[in-house]
Amino acid sequence: MKFGCDTVRKRLTLLNAGAPLDADLSEHVAACEGCRHVFRSKHALWSLLGEYDAPSLTVDLFPGVEQQLERNRRRPLRESLAAWTEALVPRPRFAGAALAALGIIIGAWTGTMLTATEDAQTSDPPASVESETYASIFEPSPPGFLGATDPWDVQGAKVP
Amino acid sequence: MKSVAQGDHEALRSVVRRHQEAVFRLAYRYLGTRAEAEDMAQETFVRLFEAAPRYQPTAGFRSYLFTIVTRLCLNKKARFSNSRELPTDASVLEELPSGAATSPEHDLISQERRSAVRAAILALPDEQRMAIVLFRFQGLSYAEIAEAMSKTVPAVTSLIWRANERLRDGLHHLLPDEKSKVRKDSPSHRLDRTEAKIP
């Protein structure tokens, strides 16, 4: 015999019962009582499993398949629409946070604008005012101012 | 499949009608209930249609189809795997086709046998159950099963071997030569307890 009993029994167990035994296996099984027993046992189990039959399908699956495909086809459109809607109209639980954020932004912008306006009113004057002021401080008074020949000669000035 | 890939619904209708029975039966034997099996079969054809443009005719179409349903079933996390509970739907046994019973007594015995076989198969771990269903009932080769389950051929061999051993233990009382070989510590006791849950 070509195979030992262990090999034959393993092969018998794994063999589909419907499949014919090859020549080497059949020769061994015919000659070996133990392996014949395994073979019969295998057939008994295999035929017993045949009792687990499935019922027949009573409905045509195609209409359901078609409906499911149609639902799947519409899904991307629905999902993108829902995403847009959600972006435009926030869900209630986020509405408060969104309003608060909006309020902070508007408040910050208003504050910035007011500060800028105040600064504009109090800081650097226009060029004409500047020249006039500096001129009055640094430029000498016209001769004869209060009777002094030297405009910086305060002591020489005559107090009226 | 070329027509299906081009969105031809008539071609899909033809494919569904030709293969729906086989897909349903495979799903039923794995899941154990008609409703789940119908849903699974429907989902299989939806996936088939959606994947049609990527279909490469390297293997047979039947193997390709069984690969889809196998992976869907395994991904479904069959509810038996964690709880080890079998469906208790009383209609399950009634909907199974009955054999050629000759008397009410014979019919009852036959129903008990079918119930025991069903319980033993559904009590198998998910992958062993799928392997044995594909092998015993769908007639797929080890290579085809390996492809469908994303496993190697030796892994499939091991799964079928272990499934056989568990079934032999679980159904020893129905096998003529095994009645004298009951081991008290065998998994059959677990199966017997599970069987008791079936109405």
User: What integer best gives the mean pLDDT of chain B?
Assistant: 77
CA distances from A151 to A121, A132, A144, B50 (A): 35, 18, 8, 101
- CB contact under 8 Å between B175 and A45, yes or no, is yes
**pLDDT for the residue B188:** 43
Q: What is the average per-residue pLDDT within A119-132?
A: 63
Residue A33 pLDDT greater than 90, yes or no:
no
Return the higher-pLDDT residue of A153 and B36: B36
User: Are A13 and B175 within 8 A, CB to CB?
Assistant: no
pLDDT of residue B190: 44
pLDDT exceeds 90 at position A12: no
Question: If you average pLDDT over residues B104-127, what whole number do you get?
Answer: 86
Whether the pLDDT of residue A21 is over 50: the answer is: yes
In CATH, what is the architecture of B88-199?
Orthogonal Bundle (1.10)
Closest Cα of chain A to B188: distance in Å? Answer: 14
| 8 Å CB contact of B24 and A41 | no
Give the integer Cα–Cα distance in Å for B80 and B84.
5
* pLDDT at residue number B92: 52
Residue range(s) occupied by CATH 1.10.10.10 in chain B: 88-199
Would you place residue B184 in the very low, low, confident or very high pLDDT band (cuts 50, 70, 90)? very low
State the average pLDDT for chain A. 74
Which is more confidently placed, B6 or A26?
A26
Mean pLDDT of all residues in B109-138: 90
CA-based nearest residue in chain B for residue A16: B136
Q: Which of A13, A49, A60 sits opposite B161 (nearest CB)?
A: A13
Q: Which residues of B touch A16 (CB under 8 A)?
A: 135-136, 139
Nearest chain A alpha carbon to B135: A16
What digits encode the pLDDT tens for the residues B135-147?
Answer: 988 888 888 899 8
Q: Is A64 on the interface with B (CB under 8 A)?
A: yes
Say which residue, A132 or B106, is predicted with more confidence.
Answer: B106
Give the mean pLDDT of B161-177. 86
The whole-angstrom distance between residue A136's C-alpha and the CA centroid of its chain comes to 68
CA distance B133 to B121: 9
- Which of B8-12, B85-89, B167-171 shows the lowest per-residue confidence on average (mean pLDDT)? B85-89
In this complex, which of A44, A52, A64 lies closest to B118 when CB atoms are compared? A52
Residues of A in Cβ contact (< 8 Å) with B168: 41, 45
In this prediction, residues A46-65 reach a mean pLDDT of 86
What pLDDT does A20 receive? 65
Give the CA dihedral A83, A85, A86, A87, nearest 10 degrees.
Answer: 90
Output the pLDDT for position A44.
Answer: 85
Q: What is the four-CA torsion angle of A152, A154, A158, A159, rounded to 10 degrees?
A: 130
ipTM of this complex prediction, to 2 decimal places:
0.71
Whether residue A82 has pLDDT greater than 80: no
Contacts of B50 in chain A (CB under 8 A): 69, 72
State residue A4's pLDDT score: 80
Q: Please judge whether A49 and B136 are an interchain contact, meaning their C-beta atoms are less than 8 angstroms apart.
A: yes
Confidence at residue B199, expressed as pLDDT on a 0 to 100 scale: 37
Which among A18, A48, A68 has the least Cβ separation from residue B174? A48
Q: In the predicted model, what is the mean pLDDT of residues A104-120?
A: 88
**Burial (CB count <10 Å: 0-12, 13-18, 19+), residue A61:** buried
Binary contact (B42, A64; C-beta < 8 A): yes
Measured between CB atoms, does A76 come within 8 Å of chain B? no
Distance of CA B154 to the CA centre of its chain: 20
Mutate one of A57, A66, A72, A75 to test the B interface: name it (highest B CB count within 10 A). Answer: A57
Lowest mean pLDDT among A18-32, A144-158, B131-145, B162-176: A144-158
A67-A70-A75 Cα angle (round to 5): 125
Predicted pLDDT of residue B197: 41
Options 1.10.287.110, 3.40.50.720, 2.60.120.10, 1.10.1740.10; CATH for B1-76 is 1.10.1740.10
Does B131 score more than 90 pLDDT? Answer: yes
Which of A6, A48, A69 is the best mutation test for B, with the most CBs of B within 10 A?
A48
Task: Out of A147-156, B134-143, B157-166, pick the least confident.
Answer: A147-156
From chain A residues 27-56, the ones with a CB under 8 A of any chain B CB are 37, 40-41, 44-46, 48-49, 51-56
- Measuring CA to CA, which residue among B123, B32, B12, B114 is closest to residue B73? B32
Q: Boundaries of CATH 1.10.1740.10 in chain B?
A: 1-76
**Is A68 near chain B, with CB under 8 Å?**
yes
Is the pTM higher than 0.80? The answer reads no
Per the CB < 8 A criterion, the answer to whether B29 and B133 are in contact is: yes
Band the pLDDT of B128: cuts 50, 70, 90. Answer: very high
Distance linking the first and last C-alpha atoms of chain A: 151
Compare CB distances from B28 to A44, A55, A72 and report the shortest one's residue.
A55
pLDDT at B68 over 80: yes
Going from N- to C-terminal start, the domains of chain A cover 5-49
Helix axes B61-75, B34-51, angle to 10 degrees: 120
CB count, 10 Å around CB of A75?
Answer: 10
